[in-house]
Amino acid sequence: MSRPFGVALVALLVLGFSAWTAYQGLAGDGGRSRHAVVVASWILVGLALVAAEALWSLRSHAFLAFVAWGLAAIAAVALERLASPAGAHAVRIVPALVYTGLAFAAAAIYLRRAV
**Under DSSP, is residue 83 helix (H, G, I), strand (E, B) or coil?**
coil
What confidence score (pLDDT) does residue 84 get? 65
pLDDT in tens, 18-33: 998 888 877 766 555 6
Give the C-alpha separation, 79 to 98, whole Å.
14
Q: Is the pLDDT of residue 51 over 60?
A: yes
Q: Where are the domains of the chain?
A: 5-114
- Pick the more confident residue, 44 or 85: 44
pLDDT of res. 100: 87
* Region of 63 on the Ramachandran plot (φ > 0 left; ψ -120 to 50 alpha; else beta): alpha
What three-state secondary structure class fits 92?
Answer: helix
Residues 94/78, Cβ–Cβ less than 8 Å: no
* Res 21: pLDDT: 85
Burial, 84: exposed, middle or buried (Cβ in 10 Å; 0-12, 13-18, 19+)? middle
